């Protein structure tokens, strides 16, 4: 792992096809990163990191973990800091960029480079109830 600063992202993972697949949820403070992560956790996903994520590349793959001081906890706005089921490390296969408005119906594919690894990006308005299903569907496509 390099000494690069953490990425402003909450990261969650789900077991699929025998491996843990991670999704980094990107956005500024108040964009809904933790809220979307909590909804995914409610559907069986595991928290890797809330709000800040350490990322590094290994053998061409992107991995994520929590900075030690925040590991295992997530902020539930209006409730406080809570402990949830976690995954200490996950391979990140998708990034979700949170937007405050509806997104284009059929956008061109987007990518962002993290630790030198080109990663697909899903632009998403996190407010609709279907946001959880959109993340799961997008992950199935990578």
The domain spans of the chain are: 9-140
- Rounded to an integer, what distance in angstroms lies between the CA atom of residue 131 and that of residue 7? 22
* pLDDT band, residue 3 (cuts 50/70/90): low
Q: Which pLDDT belongs to residue 22?
A: 98
What are the tokens at 32? 């809904």
CATH of 9-140, one of 1.10.1040.10, 3.20.20.300, 3.40.50.300, 3.40.50.1110: 3.40.50.300
**CB within 8 Å of 66: residues ≥ 6 apart:** 11, 48, 49, 50, 52, 53, 54, 72, 86, 88
What are the tokens at 22? 């991670």
Averaged pLDDT of the chain: 93
Does this model's pTM top 0.95? My answer is no
Q: How far is CA 37 from CA 40, 59, 60, 61, 139, in A?
A: 5, 27, 26, 22, 14
* pLDDT band, residue 15 (cuts 50/70/90): very high
| 3-state DSSP assignment of residue 130 | coil
Q: Is the pLDDT of residue 5 over 90?
A: no
Q: Is the pLDDT of residue 1 over 80?
A: no
pLDDT (tens digit per residue) in 62-98: 999 999 999 999 989 889 899 998 999 999 999 999 9
State how far Cα 73 lies from the chain centre. 15
Q: Which pLDDT belongs to residue 113?
A: 97
- Rounded to an integer, what distance in angstroms lies between the CA atom of residue 92 and that of residue 25? 10
């Amino acid at each position: 792992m390099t000494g690069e600063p953490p990425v402003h992202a909450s990261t969650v993972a789900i077991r699929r096809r025998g491996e843990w697949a991670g999704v980094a949820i990107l956005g500024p403070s108040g964009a809904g990163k933790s809220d979307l992560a909590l909804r995914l956790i409610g559907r069986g996903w595991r928290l890797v990191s809330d709000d800040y994520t350490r990322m590094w590349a290994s053998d061409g793959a992107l991995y994520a973990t929590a900075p030690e001081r925040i590991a295992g906890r997530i902020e539930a706005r209006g409730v406080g800091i809570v402990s949830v089921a976690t995954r200490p490390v996950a391979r990140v296969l998708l990034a979700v960029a949170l937007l405050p408005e509806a997104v284009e119906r059929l956008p061109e594919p987007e990518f962002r480079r993290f630790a030198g690894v080109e990663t697909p990006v899903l632009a998403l308005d996190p407010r609709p109830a279907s946001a959880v299903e959109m993340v799961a569907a997008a992950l199935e496509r990578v």
